Structure 1
Amino acid sequence: MSGPGLLLDIDRLSCAYAGQPAVRELGLTLRPGELGCLLGPSGCGKTTLLRAIAGFHAPSSGTLRLRGADALALPPEKRGLGFVFQDLALFPHLTVADNVAFGLHRLDSGARRSRGLETLALLGLQDLAGRYPHELSGGQQQRVALARSLAPRPDLLLLDEPFSSLDADLRGRLRDELRALLKRLGIAALLVTHDQEEAFAFADTVGVMNAGRLLQWAPGFELYHRPATPFVASFVGEGRFLAARVIDRRRVSTALGELTVGSDLPFTVGSAVRVLLRPDDLMPSDDGGIEAEVSAVAFRGAETLHTLKLPDGTALTALFPSHQQREPGARVRVRPDLAHVVVFADEDVG
């Protein structure tokens, strides 16, 4: 997985936590300025991996290279990284300006103050330099923690669920502001979260983890439309698995009719398989298609999520424009409209 121009290069890295495997044979890369995200359920190893990159946790095997050089033997302070903790870890006895300047030991006092104030201004905090953490709102404290991590101008920022304590609106605004700032400064980042919306909105590349393994490392669009495993398909977005049978190398038969696959299937003719159907893969149809019964509806503003029951009892979901909302018990005709037909072996789908 090594290559030229990589900022972070991890290969077959394994870590244990409390005597149990936490990260298993994991590999990923980040290029300068790239924004990445680790997404997965609680306990999947995301934070352990982040701490291993930072130097706070010693891996049991594998390699970790920063800027082309082996980083495993380096202490955290020698790795040149910024780290934002989930609990912020601000110093209560220091002013905002002193918190931000805390890690700038290599600069003289004048340069430290100048860099600190410059960084505060980047995050709109210049008027709060003389205040103490307890005098700030939660959002302001979060900005101070970000400013402190950015003040040394690291080329890689590690973020451990930094927005989790904020309300949804503030979390979204701060996330978007941070993404724009990092892009402007050319600083790469690796964010840990369990929030899919946050992952897709912030990152260029998203990795889905489960049980210590990185199942897929790809742009959000690819994770959603071309998931590598049934777990990725289920964890990212909404979807149902439709029973199907292989007709030939490029076609499968389903309750919705025959579907054509974009590449050769690795299954023998007649094999039982499952096709992933996202809610946006089914469209209402005035003529043709297949009739289904609406069993439940969930209003979502511009769209309504309909749970549908096909004649054979299969349950699927479909998004209709809200002005086309049907009521439970109504019958509606639908047709598949799949840009990408994703097929898994029947036995791989739990």
Structure 2
Amino acid sequence: MTLTLSGLSKVFGDATAVHPLDLTIPEGSFFALLGASGCGKTTTLRMVAGLEEPTGGRILLDGEDITRLPPHRRPVNTVFQNYALFPHLDVRDNVAFGLRRRGVKSVGKQVAEMLELVQLGELARRRPGQLSGGQQQRVALARALINRPQVLLLDEPLGALDLKLRRQMQLELSRIQAEVGITFVHVTHDQEEAMTMADRVAVMNGGRVVQLGEPAELYENPRSTFVANFLGTSNLVEAQVTAAGPDEIQVKAPGADGTLRLPAARCPAEGTGAGDTLLVGVRPEKIALTRAQDADQVPGGRNRLTGRIRDANYLGVSLHYLVDTPACAEISVYEQNVERDTRLTPGAEVVVHWRPAHTFALDAAQDMTAGEGEI
């Protein structure tokens, strides 16, 4: 069923946790509410679950208003970060708990099917204390799914797991959601988690949704400095528009050797005429480095800046460079560890270059650092 939030808001005293919010979450989708602590995402989820009463607005499931229904009468279930398993019950009885509470007598077949879905059939007689964090998370998921909710709410369910297990469980959750076809609404502050699992992501900041879309669209075409910086890393350079055509914009950054070019479609709708100032952005992995003495080897038509490497870090799968340029004090560059150039060390003079198509622009009136360091 389609979940619709219409003007949904929540105020605590003098503080507004969620400003009037309008969202439509399609049936069968994996939807993520992504944002830093205090942005309103968990409060939104709790209102959908019935654990928090909205100050205003409505919650609709296929057009039916469930805003005032108590939690136990809503066709939704929630999986919390701490799993809330019963330590004195084994896996099988934990999963069966909801059915038995509703008076269902014969639960064996349904429990077996759920344990098969989460790949825990062989651990049915173990208690939670005998399971790993990932296994406990699967038990909690099976216990929620066995009640056949129309919407499953996930409140930071992977937050207690270590990095390797968290990445494994991201794939498992995606697999399970695809198999059961139930709408998942996932709250997280982890950008990678949201991008990996969700069909659509709503980025929240200050109690508002600041951008909504598919993960790739949000990453490639951020509409604000907050989204550009919160979803990964962006290099932002202030530059002035020197020429504006229907397909391409040209800009000049202070101290840059020449003009930078970018697609007009990746610029703000307003403020892109000659003389206007923009924040020009490019993601670190889109950039390449070439030693200054080999500048003639840089392919023609690329955007380029000259600078000096300040720092170089070996990360195994990639190398991370920080480059100082006249146009930008610190440009971040990630290069895949394929053909490592050992001459690219701190102090080396380099040309930073990238394809114009990989460049985007934002309104220069925004805070260039918004979203940095948010968790």
Same fold (TM over 0.5): yes
Say whether the 8 Å CA contact 2:243–2:251 is kept in structure 1.
no
Instruction: Tell me if 1:334 matches 2:352.
Output: yes
101, 105, 110: which one aligns with 1:109: 105
Q: Do the aligned partners of 1:22 and 1:211 also contact (CA within 8 Å) in 2?
A: yes
Deviation at 1:59, TM superposition (A): 0.9
Structure 1 residues 81 and 169: CA distance shift in structure 2, 3 A? same
Contact 2:153/2:185, CA 8 A, preserved across alignment: yes
Q: Which of the numbers 321, 324, 335 marks the counterpart of 2:341?
A: 324
Whole-Å separation in 2 of the counterparts to 1:25 and 1:272:
32
Query: What is aligned with 2:372?
Result: none
Pairwise CA RMSD: 2.0
Is 1:33 the counterpart of 2:28 in the alignment? yes
CA distance in 1, matches of 2:307, 2:187: 40
Quote the residue 2:164 is aligned against: 169
Structure 1 residue ranges, 4+ long, deviating more than 4 angstroms after superposition = none
CA distance in 2, matches of 1:342, 1:12: 32
Aligned-pair CA distance for 1:337: 1.4
Could you tell me how far 1:139 is from its partner in structure 2? 2.1
Q: Which ranges of structure 2 fall in alignment gaps of 5 or more residues?
A: 299-303, 369-375
What is the rounded CA distance, in whole Å, between the counterparts of 1:261 and 1:305 in structure 2? 27
User: 1:308-319 counterparts in 2 under 5 A?
Assistant: 308-312=323-327, 314-319=329-334
Matched residues in 1 for 2:22 and 2:193: separation? 22
Counterpart in 2 of 1:273?
Answer: 278
CA distances 1:35-93 after superposition (whole Å, capped 9, x unpaired): 01111111111110110111111111122211221110211122211210111111223
2:306 alignment partner, SS class: strand
Whole-angstrom CA distance in 1 between matches of 2:12 and 2:126? 39
Alpha-carbon distance in structure 2 between the residues aligned to 1:155 and 1:61: 23
CA positional deviation for 1:18:
5.8
Q: Structure 1's 25 and 128: CA in aligned 2 closer, same or farther, altered over 3 A?
A: same
Percent identical among aligned pairs is 38
Which of 149, 153, 156 pairs up with 1:154? 149
Alignment partner of 1:253 out of 237, 251, 254: 251
Q: How many angstroms apart in 2 are the aligned matches of 1:200 and 1:218? A: 11
The number of residue pairs the alignment matches comes to 344
SS in structure 1 at match of 2:278: strand
Matched residue SS, 1:29 = strand
Structure 1: gaps of 5 or more residues: 1-5
State whether residues 283 and 334 of structure 1, in contact with CA within 8 Å, keep that contact through their aligned partners in structure 2: yes
Amino acid at match of 1:252: Q
In the TM superposition, what is the alpha-carbon distance from 1:330 to its structure 2 partner?
0.6
Candidates 182, 191, 197, aligned match of 1:187: 182
Q: Is the 8 A contact 1:274 1:349 kept in 2?
A: no
**Greater Cα shift, 305-314 or 34-43:** 305-314
CA deviation vs aligned residue, 1:233-282 (integer Å, no higher than 9, x gap): 11001112111112243423133623133337511421222111211232
Rounded to whole Å, the distance in 2 between the matches of 1:64 and 1:8 is 7
TM-score, length basis structure 2: 0.86
> In 2, are the aligned partners of 1:155 and 1:186 still within 8 Å (CA)?
no
Partner AA of 1:14 in structure 2: S
Please give the alpha-carbon distance, in whole angstroms, between the structure 1 residues aligned to 2:22 and 2:346.
47
Counterpart position of 1:298: 313
**Residue 340 (structure 1) shift:** 4.6
Cα 1:344–1:71, aligned 2, differ >3 Å: closer, same or farther? same
CA distance in structure 2 between the partners assigned to 1:125 and 1:346 by the alignment? 53
State which drifts further: 225-234 or 24-33: 24-33
Letter aligned with residue 94 of structure 2? N
Q: Per the alignment, do residues 82 and 277 of structure 1 end up closer, same or farther by CA in structure 2, a change over 3 Å counting?
A: same
Distance of aligned partners of 1:337 and 1:168 in 2 relative to their CA distance in 1, 3 Å threshold: same
2:114 is paired with a residue whose SS is helix
8 Å Cα contact 2:262-2:360 kept in structure 1: no
Q: Which of these residues, 123, 129, 134, is aligned with residue 129 of structure 2?
A: 134
Aligned residues of 1:281 and 1:338 also touching (Cα < 8 A): no
- Whether the 8 Å contact between 2:237 and 2:328 is mirrored in structure 1 is no
2:171 & 2:135 partners in 1: Cα distance?
Answer: 15
How does 1:183-262 map onto structure 2 within 5 Å? Answer: 183-250=178-245, 251-254=249-252, 255=256, 257-262=259-264
Q: Describe the SS at the equivalent of 1:102.
A: helix
